[in-house]
Chain A
Amino acid sequence: MLNRDEDILQAAETWQKQGHGVALATVVETWGSAPRPAGSSLVINDDGTFLGSVSGGCVEGAVVTEALDVIASGQPKMLEFGVADETAWNVGLSCGGTIRVFVEKVG
């Protein structure tokens, strides 16, 4: 209850009907001060257009890139993001949390 996500799942269905390749990315686990709880999701289409969020903005770019791979391959993927590693310039969460994101193709 009390889920105020905007209606991104309806958008996923609409995109799919319009003939787009669509992927759904969902936060399945969080540790520490992750910005979005488990169940938060992001939908992406093959244009790279996305709606929703899994981290409040920190790792969405990387998730979208991976989602385009998932749309192409059809194989689901589990992604993990932790604290930003400054030396490697990896994408990460500035808040210090860790999240796991499940990315799957729709359709």
Chain B
Amino acid sequence: MKLEILKELNAERAARRPVIIVTDTANGDQRLVKAADIATDPLRAELSKQLRMGKSGNVEVAGKKLFLNVYAPTAKLVIIGAVHISQALAPLARSLDYDVTVVDPRTAFASPERFPDVPLVAEWPDVALPPLNVDHYTAFVAVTHDPKIDDPALLHAFDRDCFYIGALGSRKTHAKRAERLRAQGAKDSDIARIHAPIGLDIGAVSPSEIAVAIMAEITAQLRLPPKEKEEAA
């Protein structure tokens, strides 16, 4: 690997931008493809598939065996609300390799006794969220049921282009939330990105089951190609 490629790879990784290194394993020829350049790459179909799956693998193109090594950022999960569902959701998400942070300004909820080993930020979203570097590789879940906490957090998630945004509440609750968010400047396209009611419809009842429904929906959003995603929604 040429030093220039290694330097560029490390810079992109530090900026949490995905990169694929394409290596001709017969002769060591190599190039780096940034996520932003995949759409115009001759290997765009293969590259976008590998990136979506987050898996490195081999392809054969024009008689050449190429190894596509995918470097994608670790996914984060930000949970707004240190509630009962979050106590089940945080460990489940960690077992799926997400970096999890729980935010709730109510210190009675955001206590280490309730969330052993999970990073907790007992601050309001305007203070808690900026240092978390919420980005596209972040799933964002608002489950406090309290508009004072959930609403500003959701506005932050829209700004940061999170790959998944979900909010707890019935259809009725969500309609009211949509009105409030619009009044605060959210676009219809932003509101359409909120998964609410949250989670895949699997008839979940207990907090743990709701956590499974939420992680299933996040996984689908992460892994399914865009068309199948619409069908699953």
Task: Mark A residues whose CB is within 8 Å of B.
Answer: 1-4, 9-10, 12-13, 16, 24, 26, 28-29, 37-39, 75-76, 78, 102, 104-107
Contacts and interface: CB of A to CB of B under 8 A. Distances in A.
Q: Which 9 A-B pairs have the closest CB atoms?
A: A39-B56, A1-B54, A76-B28, A1-B72, A2-B97, A38-B56, A28-B67, A107-B3, A39-B69
Interface residues of B, number: 32
A41 B195 CA distance: 37
Contact of A9 (B2, B13, B57): B13
B222 A78 contact: no
B67 A9 contact: no
Which of A3, A13, A37, A106 gathers the greatest number of chain B CB atoms within 10 Å?
A: A3
Contacts of B23: 28, 102, 104
A13 B27 CA distance: 22
B216 to A, nearest CB: 16
User: Counting chain B CB atoms within 10 Å of each CB, which of A1, A10, A38, A78 scores highest?
Assistant: A1
Nearest to A5: B71
Contact of B7 (A2, A4, A13): A13
Nearest to A106: B1
DSSP class of A's interface residues: helix, strand, loop or mixed? mixed
18 contacts: A1-B54, A1-B72, A1-B74, A1-B137, A2-B98, A3-B71, A3-B74, A4-B74, A9-B6, A9-B10, A10-B10, A13-B10, A29-B58, A38-B56, A38-B58, A39-B56, A102-B67, A107-B3
Contact of B1 (A24, A29, A37): A24
Nearest to B25: A102
A105 B28 CA distance: 9
Contacts of B7: 13
B48 to A, nearest CB: 13
Contacts of A75: 28
Contacts of B74: 1-4
A12 B9 CA distance: 11
B20 to A, nearest CB: 10
Contact of A2 (B10, B13, B28, B54): B54
B169 interface: no
Contacts of B96: 2
A8 to B, nearest CB: 11
A78 to B, nearest CB: 6
Nearest to A41: B69
A24 B23 CA distance: 13
Contacts of A105: 1
Contacts of B82: none
A3 B16 CA distance: 12
Nearest to B21: A26
Contacts of B10: 9-10, 13
Contacts of A38: 55-58, 67, 69
Nearest to B54: A1
A12 to B, nearest CB: 6
B55 A37 contact: yes
Contacts of A2: 54, 72, 74-75, 96-98
A78 B25 contact: yes
